[in-house]
Every structure is written in structure tokens, then in C-alpha cells.
Structure 1
Amino acid sequence: MSIFRKLFSSGPTNSNEEKEINKISYEQNVPFDEKFIFNFKRNGGKFLYCESMEEVKEQFENILEENDWFESEAICFEPTLFPLLQENNIIFEKPQNPKFLLARCENLVSDEGSISFSSNQIKQKKPNELPVNMVIIANTSQIIPGKSDILSAIKNKYQREYPSNITTLKYFEKAQEEDFTQYGSAAKNLYLILLEDL
């Protein structure tokens, strides 16, 4: 996982560093964690790497500050994340005008840079029913090689009582040109806070 430290431990990259990252040739023998980062950023996602829960809290507060979301409203269905919202005076019980979704995810899909969710994170909501802005907290152990691995990862995780509404989000910025591959997809302004756990 040293790729995370090399690329992201010193904060935001400048344009020269981004150009250097984009020059890397991603072939099949490249580790799928590196491939995920490349594909996720190419899809327009905003990536924040953390080595501790303290860093996660700090990055979350930075996101709130950047977007002026302090003391606003959010959607969150996961009780383990409620303290993050409470500490920052974010209303999450019956929000009227939520600015963002705070959630975990099922998996991070390497080969396409997408994020999979289930009813455990988003209940029965469809992607277009969720706020445009999303803050997702995930662990490095959740990165899987491909979309075909999503169901087996979910079966291994839950063993019984599988969640429903399994869906993936892949596009994190509006396409500049008409792109038929994005047809029917709602682009999201997505921040991924990735916590090292391996």
C-alpha cells in the first residue's frame, strides 16, 4: 500500500504530479489498489487517503469547510457515522434539504474505479434520489479487482441476510461531451475518504 503514501500523504497534488500519475501505464500486472486510484480519479472522484481515524475526522471537517456544509443537513443511514455529523452540528434526522450523503460502501471496484453500495448504506433509494454531493468512507481492504467480484464479496461479508438494492456509482463529474456510456447515470460530486486497514 506504499503507493498511497507516495501519492497522497503530502496533501493535494499539483498539476505536474497529476500529469506524472496519468502517465503511468496500467497493465494487468499492476496491483488492483493502484488501478482503483487511477480509474477513480479518471472518473472525476476526489480521493483522500488516511492512516488513522483522527485523519478521517480531519479530512471530513476539511470537506465541510471547503463546501460550507457546517450546520447544514445531510442524509445518513448508518449509526456508526452519526457521531461525525453530531460533532459538526449536521442535522441528519428527517432532513428537509440535505446538502450531502455521508455513507460507507460495500466495495471499491478496481477495474472501473467505481463504488458499490447496498441497502445497508442507501436503503432502497436509487442513485438519482440521493444528493449530488456524497462523502464516502471506506477501507483499503474493500478494494476488489472487478465488478464480477461484488456479489461474492457481499456473500462473504454477510453470509446470511444479504442486503438488497446493490448498485454501483461510476461517474463523479458531468461529462464534458455527450457520452453514451453515461446514459442514465447521475453524475455525483463524490469525496472518498480511504482509511488504511491492511
Structure 2
Amino acid sequence: MSLFKKLFGSKQKDDTSGTGADQRGKFMPEIKLPTDEKFTINFKKNGGKFLYCDSLDEIYECFNNILQENNWSSQTVCCLDPQLPQIFKNYTFSKHSNCHHANILLSRCENLVADNGAILISSNQIKESKLNDLPDNFIIFATTSQLVDTIGEGLRGIKAKNKNQIPTNITTIKHFSIKEEKDFLTYGSSSKNLYLLLLEDL
């Protein structure tokens, strides 16, 4: 994806041509941003931490860095997703069947939603656990092919992929900074300190 490579790949000179949105008049039609760029802007605006990776080796390196930065151990990582231990096979995760004793949840997701920078998850990843019952710290492993424009597009994709049995517990996480006192805009939602490990697969 060109945007991710521009942001996280080789360093390039800043574009000073003045063609950005800030140079446009207020009555000009809104520029339709590419899905990847829109997601990046909205995800960061929501307080998410974003790590773009070209390979699984980079994913492991970033995962190790997250653990070290926060003084976390892989043994305090909870993983309810049955597919992830195969990907992170060199790590030992918490043996508990639920996440009550864990500091971090490592999970995949259904989709990354560009319109609001949210993470769409379901029972495929978190079983029937409620977000409030899960740890405050999330590390989400996703791929660039999971980017969608809207929640509706993501829900249609879930239905198409799971024709025999549509997953339950479908929800979104879109507030990624823990606040002791939530304002009225985040009331009733579950805020998570969230890292996104995004693997390029397109």
C-alpha cells in the first residue's frame, strides 16, 4: 500500500508543494481519501498506536519492543484466538482460559474500519467475552487486506466469510486511550490502550 510505504518505508523528502487539504478553500468539495490513509488518520486521532510491518520477522520485533517498553512478559499475555499461538509459536502465553489474570490481550480482528478508525472484532477473536471484562491493554495483529471503508462493508464481509455460522459478539473498539474519567462522548464504550501490528499482505 503506497501510503504505508510512504509513512513507514524509506525516508523521502517532505512534500512542500502546498497541494494538501489545508491549501483548499472551505467551499471546495471534500477530497475522498484512500481507505488506508483515512484509517491511519482516524485511528491515530482515536489514540491508537500504529506499527506497520513488511514481514512476520518485523511483527515479532515490534511485539518484543512493545513488551519491553511496558515491562510486560509474554506470560501475562492472554490469547483467546485459536489461530494466533500458531503465528506467535515462539512465545509462551498465559495458561488461563479467561483473561482475568492477564495484563494484555493479543488478538486478531475482523476488519479495520477507515471511516471512524475502529477495530471490528467478534466471537472469532474474543469468544463471548465482554470488552469490559478483557484487559485494558490490547495488541491487535491485522493485515492490510482487512481494511474496509465502513462498518457495513465489514459486516457484509463477516457474513460472506462465515456463511455456515455467523459469529456472535460482533463489536467495535474505537477509543484507544484510557481515561480515569470518561467524558460524555465515550460514555458506555470501552476504552483500550491499543497497539496495532499491521502486516502488509497486498
Q: Place the TM-score, normalised by the shorter chain, in its bin.
A: 0.7 to 0.9
Change (3 A) 1:66 1:38: same
Aligned to 1:185: 189
Q: CA RMSD in A?
A: 2.5
User: Mapping of 1:82-101 within 5 angstroms?
Assistant: 82-83=85-86, 87-94=90-97, 97-101=101-105
Tell me the distance in 2 between the aligned counterparts of 1:133 and 1:93: 17
Per the TM alignment, residue 186 of structure 1 is displaced from its structure 2 partner at its CA by 1.9
**SS of 1:63 mapped into structure 2:** helix
Tell me the distance in 1 between the aligned counterparts of 2:73 and 2:151: 35
User: Mapping of 1:1-198 within 5 angstroms?
Assistant: 1-9=1-9, 25=21, 27-83=30-86, 87-94=90-97, 97-174=101-178, 179-198=183-202
Tell me the distance in 1 between the aligned counterparts of 2:184 and 2:61: 38
Max radius of gyration: which structure?
2
AA aligned to 2:5 is R
Aligned to 1:14: none
Q: Deviations over 1:138-175 (max 9, x none)?
A: 01011110122221010122222111000000000145
Change (3 A) 1:35 1:78: same
The worse-fitting range, judged by mean Cα deviation, of 145-154 and 99-108 is 145-154
Percent sequence identity over aligned pairs: 48
Tell me the distance in 1 between the aligned counterparts of 2:178 and 2:104: 17
**SS of 2:198 mapped into structure 1:** strand
Q: Deviations over 1:26-63 (max 9, x none)?
A: 94521011100000000000000011111111111111
Unpaired runs of at least 5, structure 1: 12-16
8 Å contact kept, 2:137–2:193: yes
Tell me the distance in 1 between the aligned counterparts of 2:103 and 2:178: 18
Q: Which structure features the higher share of helix residues? A: 1
Unpaired runs of at least 5, structure 2: 23-29
AA aligned to 1:146 is T
8 Å contact kept, 2:67–2:74: no
Per the TM alignment, residue 10 of structure 1 is displaced from its structure 2 partner at its CA by 6.2
**Corresponding pairs, count:** 188
Structure 1 runs (4+) deviating above 3 angstroms are 24-28, 83-86, 92-96, 174-179
